[in-house]
Structure 1
Amino acid sequence: MTISTTTSLATLRIERRGPAAWIWMARPAVHNAFDETLIAELTDTLRQLDADPAVRAIVLAGEGRSFSAGADLNWMRRQGEASVEDNLADARRLAGLFRTLSTCVTPTLARVQGAALGGGMGLAAACDLCVAAERAVFATSEVRFGIIPSAISPYVIRAIGERQAYRYFQTAERIPAARARELGLVHEVTTDDGLDPQIEALIEALLTGGPQAQAAATDLIRAVANRPITDALVEDTARRIATLRATDEAREGLAAFLDKRPAAWTLPSSPDSGA
């Protein structure tokens, strides 16, 4: 049985569904736009959930019609009037949010049901996996406001590549879900009704993997991606697999395969552990 509990903050609703934690951005009246409070609450919530060994997957979602329309215009106006020092401090907090999301040890999934604009596209790109409804739309729309997609750029460029970034960072064109999948930003596109089942299917797939191995796999990607294949890199990959083979998790995974039984980490949690 899936245990579901909900905690509400000023801008977020956190729902625990067994081993998965669903973070709902809860500002639907402003299309889940960022402000100081959402940035702080989301950063802190991600850190707490990522540190909880009972959480095996984190889903980031938005209430209402939009995933996130990016920066709240009133917040942007306040920052435009702030001192250079205050503006920089605020920008660092925003950049820290994306870095926190992108470096979670726990697998992260973006559930994009509608518009994901500016920082909203950054959130989708910073997650490990992204599932979008057919009506979802993405954009790096910052140049239309006379600014640039600076804080989100490492994650969006990682997702769609440098060449495509030259286009979309400058044109601010809307990117339909199907095109976003072609670009590599989105992994799966589905109907509105199929969105949650697709997320749940991915969570089920994630739960079959060893949590230590999954953390090591994401760290491996970060260490290997876009690096030349040097002797040092090859040695690093050898050391990584040799180290992992000696862990209790790896021994359990091999034993489970040979015994034709589920690995220990796939067994249902106790009723209290999902709360």
Structure 2
Amino acid sequence: MSYDTLRLDTDARGVATLTLNRPDKHNALSAQMIDELTQAAGRLAADDAVRVVVLTGAGASFCAGGDLGWMRDQMAADSATRAAGARALAGMLGALDSLPKPLIGRIQGQAFGGGIGMMSVCDVAVGVSGARFGLTETRLGLIPATIGPYVVARMGGAMARRVFMSSRRFDAEEAVALGLLARAVEGHALDAAVEAEVAPYLSCAPRAVAAAKRLTRELGPVIDAAAVEHSVRALVACWEDAEAAEGISAFFERRAPTWAVD
């Protein structure tokens, strides 16, 4: 199976590399990419030859968040369409989160919004020093809703409050402190750092690894259908608030929104 927005390669050891492949768009999440990521997660889950999955991005950015075209579509959409889009994103994150293989994030550049959500569903993520990150939704009058269950599960509530509401950008070293990254390394050392995370799994029993991962999810914060639906409703409510219309209009018009104070 081929993809338009992704690359999927598997080496002789059974290490699959899933690459977000819209470098000219900073790997922003379009509806097509969300759908293809969901398909790829299902394919990887079913492939017994795959032992480990590495998630990364092509180009300078890991993932810049939501695609601008997607945001324009959401502005014009009704509540049901907005909810369907949010559920598609939630389904993709859930498919990656529940992948019965270790998922290693190779975070080679910046990540915002939905990119933070994808980092949060990795079992471990290694990033480059100098990269910038942020949950920037509130600048647009929105909230990090659909990704929220995974972000809060990864960071913990107290740590999440440091960055969840402020839209403040932070560096790779703070991402480590927040629990979002396991390590931050120089760019030349990234592949070696990722390999150090991958290699131990190749000596482990695959079904035992899958069972151990499933147990960590069962023992950790519960992200069930009710939690996902709650996040969807919260996002739709924000889309229908006048703040979102103002924030997104200001973004496209390259001006400050009415609430911004110099």
What is the TM-score when the length of structure 2 is the normalising length? 0.81
Which letter does structure 1 place at the counterpart of 2:193?
Q
Q: Is the 8 A contact 2:153 2:221 kept in 1?
A: no
Q: Which residue of 1 aligns with 2:117?
A: 122
**Counterpart secondary structure, 1:179:** helix
Per-residue deviation, 1:226: 5.7
Q: Which residue of 2 aligns with 1:14?
A: 8
Query: Any unmatched runs of 5+ in structure 1?
Result: 1-6, 228-275
> In structure 2, what is the Cα distance between the partners aligned to 1:175 and 1:215?
33
Which letter does structure 2 place at the counterpart of 1:65?
A
Query: Any unmatched runs of 5+ in structure 2?
Result: 223-262
Q: Which residue of 2 aligns with 1:242?
A: none
Which letter does structure 1 place at the counterpart of 2:10?
R
Q: Is the 8 A contact 1:20 1:56 kept in 2?
A: yes
- 1:174 and 2:169 matched: yes
CA deviation map 1:104-123 (0-9, x unaligned):
11110111111110000110
> In structure 1, what is the Cα distance between the partners aligned to 2:19 and 2:194?
14
Q: Which residue of 1 aligns with 2:214?
A: 219
Per-residue deviation, 1:8: 4.7
Which letter does structure 1 place at the counterpart of 2:7?
R
> In structure 2, what is the Cα distance between the partners aligned to 1:10 and 1:37?
8
- 1:50 and 2:64 matched: no
Per-residue deviation, 1:83: 1.7
> In structure 2, what is the Cα distance between the partners aligned to 1:205 and 1:140?
32
Q: Which residue of 1 aligns with 2:57?
A: 62
1:163 to 147, 158, 167: 158
Which portions of structure 1, spanning 4 or more consecutive aligned residues, are displaced by more than 3 angstroms? Answer: none
Q: Is the 8 A contact 1:133 1:195 kept in 2?
A: yes
Q: Is the 8 A contact 1:113 1:135 kept in 2?
A: no
> In structure 2, what is the Cα distance between the partners aligned to 1:146 and 1:225?
31
- 1:33 and 2:33 matched: no
Query: How well do the aligned residues superpose, as a CA RMSD in angstroms?
Result: 1.4
Decide which structure has the larger Cα Rg and report it.
1
Percentage of identical aligned residues: 39
**Count of equivalent residues:** 221
Which letter does structure 2 place at the counterpart of 1:17?
D
Q: Which residue of 2 aligns with 1:204?
A: 199
1:111 to 106, 110, 119: 106
What is the TM-score when the length of structure 1 is the normalising length? 0.77
